[in-house]
């Protein structure tokens, strides 16, 4: 272990110095300059706020990850999420095949995943929250709220929220075809067709990702289809999303020492409708199925089949009370159910009302007060207030702070699951937490921007799995007191109109007082320190380059670093590209006992045609 850590300490500075040297060597202007990145004062966000506002106006810790226009130097949504070190992707296989997402040390169940502002979380298990059915080409951006979001979104938003925004392009006909082959028998195809007809925009997207696996029983096949429709009328915008995903994969060692196999499917219908400038209604239906075989070669020994459904509806409204004061309020309802040969048949419903008031004064002060009451049949009501405020020291420097309460009801797996290694607990209590944070944002007109946030989350009745010895069952329990304290820092430098350099770091410390740390399963697999250096450029000859170096030190494992490089040529209609992942061939595990692949290469072509 000491040799590995010493080798890692030598390797990371070398990689960072090499990257910085290459950046300096490439600062000549390209032949066809692209647009400079939007500043925080220009970028509009819809997550963590009751009405759209610029990123600079938000008093919460928010980050924005743009996907549209970067498809040539991205392979999957996981590539995009890895640019933010506060997001801990605990993958069991590459390319987002099976991923747990953690924010600020929270468990995978404490991160709420949204699709166009509507809940995508899975009632069966948080392990399926990242079964996002829309292909990468359909995604415009991902907005990330670090910290509690239950006041706005309800259960599960304890540690943070990611909101996947899928919407069609609105600039005319676009046909995009892509094919690629690579290491481990990987074979990919993507198709996207989009067009605009007056006030109507439509995009049809398809994605297929196949691999024979880097080791036996780690093969996968991922199919995704989606249709996104945007229509603008005198009433406002109408947005309809239809999506489907089929996702079979080898699951060797994923949930225990077994050669397992799993197949998950997701169906999604989401509809958002503006009812004038101040009111929005939304409805979504989600169905998810999970077929799990403990021994792939002998399904008769142990096989689970789960199927869950959810219906959700919301009505939101905001109203200007004065020039600098806005009142927001609304109602939400959710019903979810499951049919399972292991978990049983269950259903639960909840309803919520919320209200918020936002004050702005002298272009220097901001304050928002909000509260939500959520009602359940099975549990007592949950009251979640939030207070957030900001103060501009100057036009370029802002202080912000917030305090908020959040909660999560146990998943059906937490409550009722059983297999040879794991046992649920029907007596589990909901998790509850208070999060406090303070931060500073600094922006020099878009060329240089930086920020830092200090935060603490104080959990009560946190849910994890615990065992008394290495041969005992993992049993779900409530942890009385679980606290996480950390810091997030970032620096973005626009080297030129066509090059950006991002440096981000997250440090985290967790404590609890209930059980020995070595015998908990999930909560103490968090990274105590995580850093990312990312550089992206458009060079002469319409050459696109993106590289990312991420270093991570998990509490329960050895530290490791991963270096990925993406290169493409966007000249003409046929665009060649190449992607090299894990250049240094690092051996690593993001979840204990689940080995991840070494160096891999992907190469392919994209055909892009745009109509007049």
Model confidence over 391-409: pLDDT tens digits?
Answer: 999 989 999 999 999 999 9
| pLDDT confidence of residue 39 | 55
pLDDT tier, 22 (very low <50, low <70, confident <90, very high otherwise): very low
Q: For residue 323, what are its two tokens?
A: 């020039």
Q: What is the reported pLDDT for 120?
A: 95
Structure tokens given for 324: 């600098």
Instruction: Give residue 302's pLDDT.
Output: 93
- For residues 484 and 105, the answer to whether their CB atoms sit within 8 Å is yes
A 10 A CB-CB count for 276 gives: 10
Contact criterion met (CB below 8 Å) for 434 and 404: yes
Residues 6+ apart with CB under 8 A from 416: 342, 343, 344, 346, 424, 426
Among 87, 204, 123, residue whose Cα is nearest residue 527: 87
For residue 60, give the nearest of 144, 123, 125 by alpha carbon: 144
What pLDDT, on a 0 to 100 scale, did the predictor assign at position 363? Answer: 81
491-542 pLDDT tens trace: 999 998 899 999 999 999 998 877 665 578 888 889 999 999 999 999 999 9
Q: Specify the pLDDT at position 32.
A: 36
Share of the chain above pLDDT 90, in %: 75
Question: pLDDT (tens digit, 9 = 90+) per residue, 339-395?
Answer: 999 999 999 999 999 999 999 998 899 999 999 999 987 777 899 999 999 999 998
Give the pLDDT confidence score for residue 282 in this predicted structure: 97
588: closest CA among 544, 556, 565? 556
> Residue 8 above 60 pLDDT?
no
Determine the average pLDDT of the residues in 217-232: 96
CATH of the domain at 558: 2.40.170.20
- Inter-residue contact 371 to 386 (CB < 8 Å): yes
Pair 147, 60: CB distance under 8 Å: yes
Contact call for residues 192 and 172 (beta carbons, < 8 A)? no
Confidence of residue 41 (pLDDT cuts 50, 70, 90): low
Domain of residue 329 covers 2-610
Check residue 3 and give its pLDDT. 38
pLDDT mean over 28-48 = 56
Least confident of 50-54, 208-212, 293-297, 327-331: 50-54
The structural domain count of the chain equals 1
The residues near 14 (Cβ < 8 Å, ≥ 6 apart) are none
Work out the angle at residue 398's Cα, subtended by the Cα atoms of residues 46 and 493, and round it to the nearest 5 degrees.
80
Nearest residue to 550 via CA among 142, 111, 84: 84
182-to-179, 248, 600 alpha-carbon distances in Å: 11, 19, 7
């Amino acid at each position: 272990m000491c040799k590995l850590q010493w080798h890692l300490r030598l390797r990371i500075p070398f990689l960072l110095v090499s990257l910085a040297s290459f950046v300096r060597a490439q600062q000549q202007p390209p032949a066809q300059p692209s647009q400079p990145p939007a500043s925080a004062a220009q970028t509009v966000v819809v997550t963590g706020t009751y009405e759209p506002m610029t990123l600079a106006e938000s008093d919460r810790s928010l980050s924005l990850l743009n996907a549209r226009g970067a498809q040539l130097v991205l392979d999957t949504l996981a590539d995009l999420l890895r640019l933010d070190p506060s997001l801990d992707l605990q993958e069991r296989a590459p390319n987002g095949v099976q991923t747990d997402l953690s924010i600020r040390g929270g468990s995978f169940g404490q991160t709420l995943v949204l699709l166009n502002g509507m809940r995508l979380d899975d009632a069966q298990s948080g392990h399926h929250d990242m079964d996002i059915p829309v292909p990468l080409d359909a995604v415009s951006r991902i907005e990330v709220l670090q910290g509690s979001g239950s006041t706005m979104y309800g259960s599960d938003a304890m540690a943070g929220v990611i909101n996947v925004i899928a919407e069609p392009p609105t600039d005319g006909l676009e046909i995009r075809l892509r094919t690629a082959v690579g290491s481990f028998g990987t074979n990919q195809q993507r198709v996207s067709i989009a067009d605009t007809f007056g006030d109507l925009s439509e995009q049809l997207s398809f994605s297929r990702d196949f691999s024979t696996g880097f080791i036996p029983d780690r093969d996968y096949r991922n199919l995704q289809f989606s249709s996104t429709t945007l229509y603008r009328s005198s009433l406002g915008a109408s947005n309809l999303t239809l999506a489907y995903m089929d996702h079979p994969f080898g699951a060797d060692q994923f949930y225990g020492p077994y050669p397992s196999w799993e197949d998950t499917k997701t169906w999604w219908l989401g509809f958002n409708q503006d009812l004038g400038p101040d009111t929005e209604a939304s409805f979504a239906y989600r169905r998810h199925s999970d077929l799990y075989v403990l021994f792939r070669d002998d399904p008769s020994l142990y096989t689970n089949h789960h199927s869950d459904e959810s219906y959700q509806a919301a009505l939101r409204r905001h109203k200007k009370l004065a020039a600098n004061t806005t009142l927001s309020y609304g109602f939400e309802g959710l019903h979810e159910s499951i049919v399972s040969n292991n978990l049983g048949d269950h259903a639960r419903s909840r309803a919520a009302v919320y209200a918020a008031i936002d004050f702005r004064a002298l272009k220097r002060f901001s304050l928002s007060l909000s509260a939500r009451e959520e009602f359940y049949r099975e549990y007592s009501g949950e009251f979640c207030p939030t207070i957030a405020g900001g103060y501009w020291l100057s036009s370029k420097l802002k202080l912000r702070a917030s305090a908020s309460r959040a909660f999560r009801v146990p998943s059906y797996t937490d409550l009722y699951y059983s297999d040879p290694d794991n046992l649920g607990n029907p007596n589990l209590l909901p998790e509850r937490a208070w999060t406090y944070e303070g931060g500073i944002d600094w922006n020099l007109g878009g060329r240089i921007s930086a920020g830092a946030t200090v935060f603490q989350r104080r959990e009560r009745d946190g849910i994890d799995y615990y065992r008394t010895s290495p041969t005992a069952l993992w049993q779900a329990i409530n942890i009385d007191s679980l606290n996480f304290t950390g810091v997030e820092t970032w620096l973005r430098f626009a080297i030129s109109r066509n090059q950006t350099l991002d440096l981000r770091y997250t440090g985290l410390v967790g404590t609890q007082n209930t059980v020995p740390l070595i015998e908990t399963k999930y909560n103490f697999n968090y990274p105590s320190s995580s850093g990312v250096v990312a550089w992206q450029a458009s060079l002469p000859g319409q050459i696109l380059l993106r590289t990312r170096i991420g270093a991570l030190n998990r509490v329960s494992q050895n530290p490791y670093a991963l270096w990925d490089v993406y290169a493409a040529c966007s000249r003409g209609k046929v665009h060649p590209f190449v992607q090299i992942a894990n250049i240094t061939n690092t051996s690593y595990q993001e979840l204990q006992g689940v080995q991840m692949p070494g160096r891999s290469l992907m190469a392919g072509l994209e055909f892009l045609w745009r109509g007049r």
